[in-house]
Chains A and B, each alone.
Chain A
Amino acid sequence: MTIADQAQLLTFFVSGAEYGVDILRVQEIRGWSAPMPMPRTPPFVKGVINIRGDIVPIADLRERLGMASQDATATTAIVVLRIDHGGRSTVRGIVVDAMSDVTTVDAAQIKPPPDVAEAAAFAALARGIAIVDDKLITILDVDGVFPSAPSNDNHDAVDASAAFATP
């Protein structure tokens, strides 16, 4: 077995289930600090925080996965990730309930996510499910957490026609 067949995952808990992200995409882990809410953004975007002078948007993974959000607890953490956004490398954070571990998984241990209509939001974000010992770890597609915004053109078009549609 070669290294390429293995992946190191940083794992954490959201709503009792364990999730993992490719550890090479993790910039840092921060304790919870309330983000500054940003107007006119999807509800799961909780706002922005200041990371050493950078303005970094934060998504609530619970809401992104279609679950109810909960107030921050002592274990709530922000995982700061390097996320590819339309070819640009950006820094963004996700809110998780608690950190777990660093786990090495083999490619053979990773199964595709279930194709169930009820879990569409979940399946769209899952790259696969790793079975480690007797735990299930959902491997997140980090680039999908913030859905790619429509390209500038479309965005403008929607904007403009919406503004013009009413007299």
Chain B
Amino acid sequence: MNPDALQAQLLAAFYEESADALERLESGLVRLDADAGRDLIDDLFRAIHSLKGGAGVVGLVELGPLAHAIESVFDRLRRGARATPAMTTALLRGVDALRGGLAARRAGRPDGAACARAVTELEQLGAAVAPTAAPPAETRLWAVTIAPRPDALRDGLDLAGVLAQLVELGPAMVTTELDALPPLAELDPARSYLRWQVMVSTARRREELLAIVAWIDDTCAVAVEPVVAEALPEPDAVEAAPPAAVPARDAGGGSAAAAASSIRVGIDKIDALINMVGELVITQSMLGELDDDAPLDRGRLARLREGLGQLARNTRALQDSVMRLRSMPVGTLFNRFPRLVRELGERLGKEIALEISGPATELDKAVLEKLGDPLIHLVRNAIDHGIEPVADRVAAGKPPAGTIRLHAEHRGGDVIVEITDDGRGLDAARIVATARAKALIAPDATLDERAAYQLVFLPGFSTAREVSDLSGRGVGMDVVRRHVLELGGDIVLDSRPGRGTRVTLRLPLTLAIIDGQLVRLGDRQMVIPLLSITESVELDPARTACLGGTLDVYRLRDQLVPMLDLAALLELPRHAAQRRILVVVTVDDAPIGLLVDEVLAQQQVVVKSLESNYQRVPGLAGATILGDGQVAFILDVVALVQAARVPSLAAAAA
């Protein structure tokens, strides 16, 4: 492997590690105020220590002093110093600066300024001891910019030698700027289009650097500048998205783009995969033994059958494992929130405790990534509009500190993410009035409270009396809802005036493959996602009844289950229907029976989007192609049932 490729690989690995370390630091620091325990501090110390070491190995020199300063603070804490909120804040800023420095590096524009500023802040805090292990004081970071004249190559410029000499001076990073590179068709190979920037950390004086570049200064514009800390605008302390999202500028290595789509996978998952492939090989050799010209007698047929069965199991297990590679615990997302809540609460003068449960719930990485923004918006909303100021809370007889709860769990075939606050709740009457005023609903429409709450998801709806700089940025709940719908999910809001608000997101586990139950309706086959089915029963006419002349129900053990004719829900043409199987699904925690003609095989189906060539069809989650090439629709059970508007049977069942 050539040294450049090795360096690129090291960098990529370091970026991934550092993201982990930064996350650990951040979530740990947020807990520091409440719990300055030895374990936590040790963990923080280890995180920054390995980050510092890693940065040194890959030559990210500008991060060293800052990492060291942070480490020093933790070291003092380990020796018994007390953590103060000011210290936490400074440390958090330091972590931000590290993140910013890393992002700048990835973007190909190393920038030591913010880091240097953070070091100063930590030192001013009086918390940081002088960085003894840092590079000697006279070592500076130099930026050497080399811009060859267009005709430099004709004059025999040999830049490689100069660059090599510069790099030998100390830890260095060479960046090639490709901005001026024309399209291939217009490229004149004898012309020079590139520019280079060498960041090198060295104790040499400027004159010595100039001496090296003196060889080329007749053909190139050369600048040698020390990298100085300059005043940067105050970073928005409430910005929740870490600044790691600096647009990746592909500075020749391509590592930034590659890293963005990579995924860290636990070794246990890989081991499971390897086991599975081992099984597959065994099955293959078992079947291979049958592949000769001997006649297929009874014994061999039995072995063939067994082998095929095993193959089916292996394939299934392998598929499961591979899909699991894509899933990540939702905790990686939840971990962003302690800090957001802490800082927003501080800024608004509200006391807020954040409770997180179910962080180990796994979710497809693609879903997880797109969940971040909606979730941040919802939490901001809860803090800004939901939780009351301390005085109001006390007056209402509530504990002074508000609570926001983030919860995730698997339910049915979906992942449920809930954001709950114990704030003032929503005002249904005001919501309805606003919706009427904005002509979002008919003037004479009457809605129950639950329906009224869902109005906040309509585009153009906002009851915020004044635009707040936190949640009223013109991004409304309709955008949140659209994001969730795009993920194939669903969002429901529930609220009790004075008691709080709960927003429930229902998200698909994965987007690609589902377990399906094939059912027959007339001459059509449909797929019902298996995980939404609780049971299927043969219809016993004696147990059916019609409530109020409109609602068919089925007496299932001691429960009354509303029955819906799936064919009618799907607006299928009338058929000489048999409808003799009741498929019981759970929607909104209530059982609903769907009438079908027949229950066929269970199989895994590959979800094909209807949107790719058409558009979203309400009630359909997608389509799939069956073994015989026929298209079958995958039903979106929740949407179908909700559209049917089955009245609640809570009273009837009691």
Residues of B within 8 A of A134 (CB): none
Given contacts A40-B618, A153-B478, A165-B442, contact A160 B454 (CB under 8 A): yes
Interface stretch, picked from B299-307, B308-316, B630-638, is B630-638
Given contacts A55-B610, A164-B451, A167-B446, contact A156 B441 (CB under 8 A): no
Decide: A157 near B459, CB < 8 A? Known: A91-B613, A149-B615, A164-B451.
yes
How distant is B458 from chain A, measured CB to nearest CB, in Å?
6
Q: Cβ of B442 and Cβ of A36 under 8 Å apart? A: no
Cβ of B629 < 8 Å from any Cβ of A?
A: yes
Interfacial chain B residues near A5, Cβ < 8 Å: none
Interface SS majority for chain B: loop
A107 at the binding interface (Cβ < 8 Å): no
Which of B22-30, B168-176, B249-257, B619-627 is the contact stretch?
B619-627
Per-residue interface assignment for chain B, residues 591 to 623, with 1 indicating a CB less than 8 Å from any chain A CB and 0 otherwise: 000000000000000001110111111111001
Asked if A161 contacts B625 (CB within 8 A), the reply is no
B447, CB-defined interface residue at 8 Å: yes
Q: What chain B residues lie within 8 Å of A166 (beta carbons)? A: 445, 645
Contact of B619 among A39, A92, A156, A163 (CB under 8 A): A39
- Does B457 lie at the interface of the complex (its beta carbon under 8 Å from any beta carbon of A)? yes
Report yes or no: A57 in contact with B613, Cβ–Cβ below 8 A: yes
CB of B613 within 8 A of CB of A38, answer no
Option from A35, A53, A85, A161 in Cβ contact (under 8 Å) with B440: A161
**Binary interface profile of B, 434-460, with partner A (CB < 8 Å = 1, else 0)?**
000000111001111001001101111
CA distance A114 to B625 in the complex (A): 43
- Whether A73 is near chain B, meaning CB under 8 Å from some CB there, is no
- Per the 8 Å Cβ criterion, residues 111-167 of A in contact with B are 146, 149, 152-157, 159-161, 163-167
A40 in contact with B571 (CB, 8 Å): yes
Given A55-B608, A167-B446: A38 in contact with B482 (beta carbons within 8 A):
no
Does A90 make an interface contact (CB < 8 A)? yes
B322 interface hit (Cβ, 8 Å): no
Smallest Cβ-Cβ distance to A151: which chain B residue: B459
Is B10 among interface residues, defined by CB-CB distance under 8 A?
A: no
A2 within 8 A of B: no
Question: Which A-chain residue is minimally distant from B461 (CB atoms)?
Answer: A157
- A153 vs B476: C-alpha distance in the bound complex, in angstroms? 12
Query: Which residues in B have their C-beta under 8 angstroms from that of A53?
Result: 608, 625
Total chain B interface residues with beta-carbon distance under 8 A? 44
Starting from the known contacts A85-B615, A165-B441, 17 additional A-B residue pairs (CB-CB under 8 Å) come to A36-B631, A40-B617, A40-B620, A50-B629, A50-B631, A54-B608, A54-B612, A55-B613, A55-B614, A55-B623, A56-B613, A57-B614, A90-B613, A156-B457, A157-B440, A157-B458, A161-B442
Residues of A close to B445: CB separation below 8 A: 161, 164-166
CA distance A53 to B610 in the complex (A): 12
Beta-carbon contact of A160 and B457 below 8 Å: yes
* Contact of A50 with B620 at beta-carbon distance under 8 Å, contacts A36-B524, A153-B459, A156-B478 already known: no
List residues of chain B with CB within 8 A of the CB of A35: 631
Asked if B570 and A39 sit within 8 Å, CB to CB, the answer is: yes
Residue-wise, chain A 10-52 has the 8 Å CB interface mask toward B (1 for contact) of 0000000000000000000000000111111100000111100
CA A157 to CA B610, docked complex, whole Å: 21
| B481 interface contact, C-beta 8 A | yes
A161 touches B458 (CB 8 A): yes
A50 engages B459 (CB within 8 Å) = no
Minimal beta-carbon separation of A80 from chain B (angstroms)? 10
**Interface CB pairs A-B, < 8 A, 30:** A35-B631, A37-B524, A38-B617, A38-B620, A39-B570, A39-B571, A39-B619, A39-B633, A40-B570, A40-B617, A40-B619, A47-B631, A49-B631, A50-B630, A54-B612, A55-B608, A57-B610, A90-B613, A92-B613, A153-B482, A156-B457, A159-B618, A160-B455, A160-B458, A161-B440, A161-B442, A163-B642, A164-B445, A166-B445, A167-B448
- Tell which of B441, B614, B616, B633 touches A164, judged by Cβ atoms closer than 8 Å: B441
User: Which of A55, A152, A153 is the one whose CB lies under 8 Å from B631?
Assistant: A55
Contact with A along B412-453 (1 / 0, CB 8 A): 000000000000000000000000000011100111100100
**Once the chains are docked, how many angstroms separate the CA of A166 from the CA of B447?**
8
**Is residue B125 contacting chain A, with contact meaning CB distance below 8 A?**
no
Binding site for A on B (CB under 8 A): 440-442, 445-448, 451, 454-455, 457-460, 478, 481-482, 485, 524, 570-572, 608-610, 612-620, 623, 625, 629-633, 642-643, 645
User: Which residues on B sit within 8 Å (CB–CB) of A163?
Assistant: 642-643, 645
**Which A residues are CB-close (under 8 A) to B458?**
156-157, 160-161
- For B571, the chain A residues whose CB sits under 8 A away are 39-40
Q: How far is the CA of A152 from the CA of B445 in the complex (A)?
A: 23
* Cβ-closest chain B residue relative to A33: B629
With A39-B619, A40-B571, A161-B442 in contact, is A90–B612 under 8 Å at CB?
yes
Cα distance A40–B639 in the bound complex, in angstroms: 13
> How far, in whole Å, are A149 and B618 apart by their CA atoms in the complex?
13
Give the residues in chain A near B645, CB-CB below 8 Å: 163, 166
Whether A36 contacts B478 in the complex (CB less than 8 A), given A163-B645, A165-B442, comes out as no
Which of A47, A154, A156, A167 has a CB less than 8 Å from the CB of B447?
Answer: A167
| A49, B623: Cα distance in complex, Å | 10
